[in-house]
Every structure is written in structure tokens, then in C-alpha cells.
Chains A and B, each alone.
Chain A
Amino acid sequence: MKFLRLLLNNILRNKRRTFLTLSSIAVSLFLITTLLTVLHEMENPPSTPESALRLLTRHRVSLANILPMSYRGKIARVEGVEAVIGSMWFGGVYKDPKNFFAQFAVDNDQFFQVYADIKLPADHKQAFVQDRLGAIAGENLAQRFGWKVGDKIPIQGALFDFPLDLTLHGIYSGGGDDGSTLYFHWEYFNEGMKRLFGGGEGVNFTGFYTIRAVSADQVPVIAEKIDALFLNTSAPTKTESEKAFVLGFISMMGNIRLLVTSICSVVIFTIVLVAANTMAMSIRERVREIGILKALGFRKGQVLSLLLGESVLLAVAGALLGSLGAKFLFSGARLAAATGGMITRINVTPATLALCASIGLFVGIVSAGIPAWQASTRRVVDALRDVD
């Protein structure tokens, strides 16, 4: 500890160089933090105790295949199922095709039982359930388009050839999605389909079912039972937990983990190079000084740890600056608006911060390793004789 001042003085000897090195490490770690956090958010969809109770049943072939609405009653009778609703992707357009977001036609009667973790005032819930043309929107979505409760939301049909004329009755938070979904009544959707097809084929169907189990340990059993129920029908099903469903969706985007980790490792390698360059420069300048220290009786190990300490301190400080900067910046930014709803939040976790600090530690040790070792093992005479 008593050498801390010496260490600090050495770091501040060339303020410009220190500043530049610190900045380039900080900038790189800012990038790494951002990438790792986005990856983390993608791989860990928001989960609540409630979401562990939910299952999704879809057509075995793919999500694009539809299921008859008659399945709802059959699923509801499966032991362990507390509530079940159908959800149908509407895929409509709000004003401009670029304004992409999810719109689901859902069964309103049990909606708040299945999504018990949706936070919404009781009177708003009531208003949504009772109004056939009602809708509720996630807070990020409402923020993106500046919607307020009571607003009319016209949606043009794209997938289905009829428009929706919805009234917003509530802006919810929570609920296992990222707060950028619009829910409206399945009955209203089905009416539109009836107008389109005049009954018969093309009505009374839904995209998938969302189920709430009585308890989390029953989830796997329920999934098996439901799939067994429809195995030999014209529309066999696949049921999985909500989390597995979301992860399956994300894995479709390709090997993002590989992309992110390879970018991160190249970035780390680059900062090792940059930091090593700086440390080599600064140690080379000080060869004589180090000789004097040793002449004064400093041991090899002490000199080595002084030099390493300097580099580690610099690198860790830079790393923390970058990571904390990222955390601070993203907590204040309105990401949903900036990225057009692609990314709704970036929440830097303590684990990521710790990882970044250890990257700093690693960079500090590796970058100063060789020059510090050379400098500390140099014979005093040689060091003193050294003329720059």
C-alpha cells in the first residue's frame, strides 16, 4: 500500500498517454459491455415466477399453421390447466409498414388469468374485457407512438384483408413480453374473418394457445398430455414452456452468440496490443529509473509488481469506465424510440460488469508482462548505463 503513491505518480507521469490509453480501453470495453448485454437479454427473456407457469401450444408443423378454436375447450379440461386463451397473430400495419410491432387477437375472458403478471389498473382491465373493440398496449409500444388511454388505433389488414378499429383501454407493464405488443379481442378478429369468408372454412381458428398451469412442476406433464390429445388429428400440436418457445424463436436468428463472442475476443486482443504498446513505451523510457530503484534496494519482485500494478490499475480503471459508462448511458436512453422497437431495453447486469473488470485485469497483466519482466530482471549496471 505504501507504494500506491509511487504507482499513481508513475501513471500520471505522462498524462496525455495515460488519458489516451484509458480512453481506448474504455471505448473498447463500452463496446464489449453493449454486445454482451444485448446477447444476455436475448438469451434470457424476461422471466417472472408467473412466466414459469405458462405453456404455449402451437401446430406441430410450424407457427404459421393454424389450430381450430375447438381445441380450447379440450385443453381447458386437461388436468392441471388453470386457464387457456387462443392467440392469433394479426400482422397488420399501423399507418406505415415500417411501424412493425406484434398484434395479437386473444380471448379476452381469461386473458388476465393467463397473464396474471400484467400490471394494469383494475378499471382498465375491466374496460378492455368489456369492449369488443378494445385493446391494450405495452408501455414501450405506447411510448413509441405516443399513445394515451382512450386513443383510437386504426390498424390496416395485411395478412388478413380487413381493418381493425381499436380503442386503447390500457397501457400495461410486465407480462413476460418486452412491452411492445398490442392485444385485442379474438371475437372481433373472428367477425372480420366471417365477413371475409362468410362462415365455413377460414373462421374459428387461432394461431396458438397460451396456457397457465396450476403449478410449475406440472408444466412438463401438461405439455405431454395436450400433445397426446391431438396426436392423431389433422392438426397435431407441439406444446412447450414459454421460455423454451421464446428461445426457439431466438435461435432462428442464427449463431449470434458466435458472432458476438468472436467480435469480443478480437476486440480484447486489440486492446491488449494497444495497452502493451503503451506499457512498452513507458517502461522503455524508465529503464534508468528502474535501475536506480533496484540500486536503492528494491527487489525484483517489487519492481515487477510496481510495473504490473500500474498497468492493471490503468486497464481496470479503463474497463470500469467503459462498462459503467454503458450502464449509465443505456439506463437513461429511450432505446425503443431510437431503434424503432428493435431493442427495448439494455440492462447491464453486475455479472457483465464483473466480467468486464476481469477483462481489464487480464489486459493489464498480459500487456505489461513481457516489458515489466525484462525491466525488472535487468542488471542494475546495464540499466544505469542505458542512455535513451
Chain B
Amino acid sequence: MAVLGIGFTVAIFVTMMALVQGLDSTFVDTGQKNQLVVIRQGSQNEVNSYFTRELFNTVKFLPGVAKGADGEPLVVGDNVVIINHERLTGQPSNVMVRGSALAGLPLRPEVKLVKGRWFNPGLREICVSRSLSLRFRNMGLEDTIHFARSNWKVVGIFEAGGTAYDSEVWADYGEICQDWDRPSYSSILLRTENEAAAEDIRKRIADDRRINLQAIPQKKYYADQTSTSGGIKALGYFIAVIMGIGASFAAMNMMYGAVMTRFKEVATLRAIGFRRRNILGSFVAESVMLGLAGGILGCLMALPLHGISSATANFQTFSEVLFNFRITPAILLRGLIYSAVVGLLGGYLPARRAARAKLIDIMR
């Protein structure tokens, strides 16, 4: 039963870590090498960044920007806005809407259309990620939702492989600007010819006092948002430590019981020449093994959670971010180490008690 107890403790630990992992990898997996996100200087992310159309053209024609098959620079400028929309449960939440252009699709190979078609420039049409369409009201294909000043028709559903784009609604840049009465950009995404060109452009933008912008490698831009999971991570470790203490007390109880019922055996072992440290070692090993058995059990209990999707708020952008629980081998290994430590803590004192068994005890 103590094994089962350790098992549950490990299951909680693994679950919390899987949550953190899922949330983190949503951001870490987003973005391509050699691409830069350009936002206003001083802004932390797209949502609180804005700059003029002139700046977009300046950036677009910087040397070092990669060109597509058609000879046009691989650059897309977005206007990112937030809408407040009802979930299926009726509770409203903030959703990020990206006013973008289809020319930007090659820059975001993560995103694939799975149903319907892309939005048409010039029409109030949106494409919604599949995860959002399953979580929010009226976001299925052919549905119409109202936000800002217009009715927007859902014409396509896309998937983004668990990246941050899975928490977004996409529409045409011009339509978003019109509806929001905000003819500006929030961010620019651009591909550079190579790593050196990326660094070059980053420096050039940083040094040019006239353009009040900053360019961040796309990978880094998203990795920086992993701080979202900081609170949950802290909570996870807090729970793990407290439950670990409780579980090692339970293990200690069990091991004391085991030592006491086998006291005569232990004394016999001593009598036939086993040393104290052998006995100490064998009991500690027994306890660690029991702990590990609990750990394996706990990992098995947590495994079905893998892939379950959930959502939380990204407090940098104040919008909803969807993620999947992700159980990786590294997390399972950490769960096992954790259970072994619980076994070790629980087993040491009882083992020491056993090692102190006196030969005289056999006589009783």
C-alpha cells in the first residue's frame, strides 16, 4: 500500500511536469531558424507593439532578406489584435487574432490548412485553428462570429502542430486594420538568407536610431514566452516536495514494520557473519526498490494524460494559449529518480535500526 501511495505521489509529479513541458514546448517548438520577428523597441511581444507602414517598407527591403521563388522578399507584416470571445462553456476568454497575408504562409510552415480554404483579402473572413474551433463557440467551419464592427465568416480550419499558432485566429491584414481603424503593424516576420545575415539585420535595426524597432530571432521570441509556465512549475515543485515528505514518512512506516517483523532474521544474518553495513545496504536497497516500483506504477498511471489538451492565459499577451500535456522520457526518468529518493529517505532510518540488531535478540 505504501508502494501505491508513492505511485500516486509520482503520478501527480509527472502530471505537473507534463503540463509544464506541454506549455513550454508550445512556445519552444514555434518558429524557424534564420527568421526574425521585428517589433517596436520596448515592447515585449506583438500584442503591445505597433509601428507605421513606412517602417514596414524600410525593413522589407533591407539587404540580407531572403527572396521567395517569385523574387519578392520573404517578409510578412501582421496586425495582431485581441478579441474577447465565449468558450463552449460560456466563459469568455481573450483570443489573439492575426491580421496577416497569404504571402506569409511560406514563413510559417508549421501551419497547415486542414478544412475549407484560406481567407480572401477584401472579405471579412477568418481561419481558425482546429484547437480553438473545438474550444470556442461558433468557431466551426461556415459559422459566423461577430467581433469588432463586423460579422466574420469562418472559411478555413488549420492545424499548427501544437505550436503557438494553434491558439490564433487568422484574417486578412487589411480587413483587421479597417475594422479596428488602426492602419499600423504589430510585427514583421522575415526570413534572412543565412545566420550571418540575420545577425547583420538584427544589429542594423538595433543601431538605427530612426527606426524605433527591435529584431528578435523568431525562436528566441517564442522561447521567451515560456515564462508563462513559471507559476505552474513552482506549484508543481511545491506539491512534489510536500508530497515527497509525506510519502517518505509512509515508506518509513512500512520499512520499520518490515524491519521489526524480520528482526530475528536480521540477527541471524549478523550471527553468521554478515556485517552491519551489508544489512544497512540491503534494507536501503529494498526500500529504494519499493520506491522505484511505486515510481513505475505512478508513471503508468500518468501516461494516459499524454496528449490531453488544455488552455491557460499567457500573461504576456493577455490571451489564451492552448497546449497539450506532454510526457517525455526525461520526465518519466525524473519521476523515477524522485521515487527512488523517496524510498531512500524512507528506508535509511529503519535500515540503520536493523543494522544495530544485537546477537542477543535471537535468544529472545
Contact = CB atoms under 8 A, between A and B. Distances in A.
A238 B86 CA distance: 14
Contacts of A342: 231
Contacts of B42: 156-159, 161
B8 A266 contact: yes
A17 B310 CA distance: 42
Contacts of A44: none
Contacts of B359: none
A61 B148 contact: yes
Contacts of A248: 91-92
Contacts of B12: 263, 266-267
Contact of A62 (B48, B94, B247, B257): B94
B8 A269 contact: yes
A216 to B, nearest CB: 24
A64 B47 contact: yes
Contact of A270 (B8, B253, B254): B8
Residues of B in contact with A, size category: 35 or more
B79 to A, nearest CB: 12
Interface string B64-77: 00000000000000
Tell me the interface secondary structure of chain A in the complex.
helix
Most buried by B among A97, A269, A274, A342: A274
Nearest to B257: A281
Given A62-B84, A269-B8, A342-B231, A159 B43 contact: yes
B44 interface: yes
Nearest to A263: B12
A4 interface: no
A127 B310 CA distance: 48
B8 to A, nearest CB: 4
A63 B318 contact: yes
B81 A64 contact: yes
A361 B180 CA distance: 58
B253 A274 contact: yes
A263 B5 contact: no
Contacts of A339: 234
Given A263-B239, A277-B250, A252 B313 contact: yes
B208 interface: no
Contact of A158 (B44, B234, B242): B44
Nearest to A22: B249
Interface in A243-278: 248, 251-255, 263, 266-267, 269-271, 273-274, 276-278
25 contacts: A20-B252, A21-B249, A21-B253, A24-B246, A27-B242, A27-B246, A27-B249, A31-B239, A61-B82, A62-B81, A62-B94, A63-B318, A65-B81, A65-B180, A159-B42, A161-B41, A238-B84, A252-B313, A252-B318, A255-B310, A267-B243, A274-B250, A274-B253, A277-B254, A278-B253
Interface of A: 16-17, 20-21, 23-25, 27-28, 30-31, 34-35, 60-65, 91, 97, 156-159, 161, 234, 238, 248, 251-255, 263, 266-267, 269-271, 273-274, 276-278, 280-281, 339, 342
Given A24-B249, A91-B48, A270-B9, 7 more contacts: A27-B242, A63-B318, A64-B81, A248-B92, A251-B91, A253-B312, A263-B239
Interface of B: 1-2, 4-5, 8-9, 11-12, 40-44, 47-48, 81-84, 91-94, 147-149, 180-181, 212, 231, 234, 238-239, 242-243, 245-247, 249-250, 252-254, 256-257, 310-313, 318, 320
State the 7 A-B residue pairs at the shortest beta-carbon distance, nearest first: A24-B249, A254-B312, A277-B1, A274-B250, A27-B246, A252-B313, A62-B84
